[in-house]
Amino acid sequence: MPEAPSPASLSTPDLTADRQSWLAILARADAATIAARLDGPLPEFARLRGPETGLVMIRGRQGGDGAAFNLGETTVTRCSVRLAEGGVGHAWRLGRDARAAELSAVLDAALQDPARRPALMRAVIAPLAAAQAEAVAQQARRAAATRVKFFTMAAMR
Amino acid sequence: MYVSVKGGEQAISNAHAWLAEARRGDAALPELSVEQVEQQLTLAVDRVMAEGACADRGLAALAVKQSRGDLIEAAFLLRAYRTTLPRFGGSLPLDTGAMRLQRRISATYKDLPGGQLLGPTFDYTHRLLEFSLAAAGEAPPPAPEMEPEEPGPPPRVTALLAQEGLMAAEPEGDDDTPPPDLTRDPLSCPASRALRLQVLARGDEGFLLGLGYSTQRGYGNNHPFVGEVRMGEASVEVVPPELGFAIDIGDITLTECQMVNQFKGSLTEPPQFTRGYGLVFGHNERKAMAMALVDRALRGAELGEDGGAPAQDEEFVLYHCDNVEATGFVEHLKLPHHVDFQSELENVRAMRAAQQ
């Protein structure tokens, strides 16, 4: 039987998509890059778990689109924190950057607070997202510059 | 029977001191940093991640430095290190179709949606030694850029063939049941394709290259074409129990090869193409292609093809392609076998005496 929603979750809008978005952005920034974007002190927090490094088994698909298989492991660092003012944050990221995992977990908790969210989105998440999007776009432009164009060869005759 | 020995601590310690000095080389030259290995010997790092079966560039670069560039030793170091870490779980299956591509080529279609992207490749270089690299110089100019003509990831070549019904579909799996895991349960044959792919993904590049080559030379030929080779970044996603929803935890660079092979059909299947599949950590086309050839060869029995070639022999391939295991058993022969050999010596002397 599904559990009845708690009064808190009834009043809190579902942040799943927002959290997926900022956690993905934070996972791609190292500790120094995240810290450089913070323009004020982070809220007080206590560690609930970690930061700790372990392994995740990366799975692929047979033939690219079939049943799953185990490709190999990767290092992953995760952290969970509780803010002194309330609110719990989690972070998982590839690699072993413990400081970045902790900063990300604190930011995940703080970003869930509607009072803190707009300023943090503006100062931290949006600029990181823009830099990451530009890096992806630049790689796509570099790849495009190596595109073999058989039709232009025909036109050059 | 192996009888162990003890002693020699001082000699071993002195040998390791010499090893450390030999690793450093001429102290008048600057020491190689792990970051330099990671940035400038990238393909060695990629190979160690693949064969060490652990994707972590920093750890793999450290292993390359520590092993003095012995990449099998480095893979061994990485495998040993991973045993010290807890397992947090498994990822969702990667969506390699959504990879952000550096390189993508097809040998089967000249013009295909998304085009042929050469990326940073050794292909079409002249293989002439560049003596300019021997002298420290300026950093090369940035690579040229052009606006992509089509946004987003291009469709897979296998999907183009599947649209015409000419590509055998891959059996779908149940994503809720974890696939078999070599790192948890020892290998046993017959192995499922999922287990075979895990073994091949961490198998020795040279061994798989030789086996793949043997299939081309007639030992289990299966008429391969490179449908597509892709290299780029894919997102890794996990569902942490404390969150209960999927999150993207970063990008991993991968090389994928879809080898397209003819299949003349069976009683139940029409003539069509089938796939050999290769997927490897990092940029390693040779390994991905060899893996795809061997994967397809190992599917021979399932597709009703004549067997008997080395690359089609599952036990032979799977039990011998792991270079860490192979090194362990081959190199253990140099450890003291003094008592062993003493008994052999007495045996041969006794047989000789009995014969005379």
Interface test with A, best of B105, B279, B284, B287 (most A CBs within 10 A): B279
Query: Does pLDDT of A9 surpass 80?
Result: no
Same domain, B16 and B103: no
CA distance A77 to chain B (A): 9
Task: Of B237, B244, B246, give the one whose Cα is nearest residue A9.
Answer: B244
* Torsion of the alpha carbons at A33, A37, A43 and A49, rounded to the nearest 10: -20
> Complex ipTM above 0.95?
no
Task: Name every chain B residue with its beta carbon within 8 A of the beta carbon of A150.
Answer: 110-111
pLDDT at B48: 98
Given a cut of 70, whether residue B52 has pLDDT beyond it is yes
Q: Which chain B residues touch A19 with a CB distance below 8 Å?
A: 243, 245, 247
Which pLDDT does position B171 carry in this prediction?
A: 81
Query: Cβ(B318)–Cβ(B199) under 8 Å?
Result: yes
In this prediction, residues B84-98 reach a mean pLDDT of 96
pLDDT in tens, B318-341: 999 999 999 999 999 988 888 888
* DSSP assignment string, A51-91: EEEEEEEEEEEGGGTSSEEEEEEEEEEEEEEEETTS-EEEE
Q: How far is B78 from chain A (nearest CA, A)?
A: 11
Percentage of chain A modeled with pLDDT above 70: 87
The residue ranges of DSSP E strands in chain B, in sequence order, are 54-55, 87-93, 100-105, 116-117, 224-238, 247-263, 272-281
Residues B34 and B165 in one domain: no
Across B143-160, average pLDDT? 88
Same domain, B100 and B224: yes
B249/B309 same-domain check: yes
Taking the CA of residue B54 and the nearest CA in chain A, the distance in Å comes to: 5
- pLDDT at residue B57 in the model: 97
pLDDT at B222: 73
Same domain, yes or no: B47 and B187: no
Identify the domain containing residue B218 by its residue range: 96-120+154-169+180-329
Per the prediction, chain A carries an average pLDDT of 89
Residue B267 has pLDDT above 80, yes or no: no
In a domain, B89, yes or no: no
Residue B126 DSSP SS3: coil
Query: Is residue B274 in a domain?
Result: yes
CA atoms within 13 A on the CB side of B77: 20
Helix axes B71-82, B323-331, angle to 10 degrees: 110
- pLDDT score at B98: 94
Closest CA to B187 of A70, A11, A44: A70
Helix orientation angle between B193-201 and B285-298, rounded to the nearest 10 degrees: 150
- pLDDT over threshold 50, residue A157: no
Residue B278 has pLDDT above 50, yes or no: yes
Mean per-residue pLDDT, B55-69: 98
Contact (Cβ atoms closer than 8 angstroms) between residue B195 and residue A71: no
Helix (H) or strand (E) holding A154: helix A150-155
The three-state (H, E, C) secondary structure of B170-216, written as one string:
CCCCCCCCCCCCCCCCCCCCCCCHHHHHHHHHCCCHHHHHHHHHHHH
Give yes or no: residues B206 and B62 share one domain. Answer: no
Interface mutation target, options A73, A97, A136, chain B, most CBs of B under 10 Å: A73
Average model confidence (pLDDT) for chain B? Answer: 92
CA A113 to chain centre: 18
Bigger pLDDT: B204 vs B343 = B204
CB of B147 within 8 Å of any CB in chain A? yes
Asked whether residue A151 carries a pLDDT value surpassing 60, the answer given is no
Does B302 map to a domain?
yes
Q: In terms of domains, do B187 and B209 share one?
A: yes
pLDDT surpassing 60 at residue A8:
no
Shared-domain flag, residues B281 and B163: yes
Q: B111 and B72, same structural domain?
A: no
Within this chain, do residues B163 and B61 fall inside the same structural domain, yes or no? no
**Pair (B73, B102) in one structural domain:** no
Total domain count, chain B: 2
For residue A76, the chain B residues in CB contact (below 8 A) are 88, 238, 249
- How much of chain B, in percent, has pLDDT values that exceed 70? 99
Instruction: Give CA–CA dist B123/B126, Å, rounded.
Output: 9
pLDDT of residue A122: 95
pLDDT at A16: 93
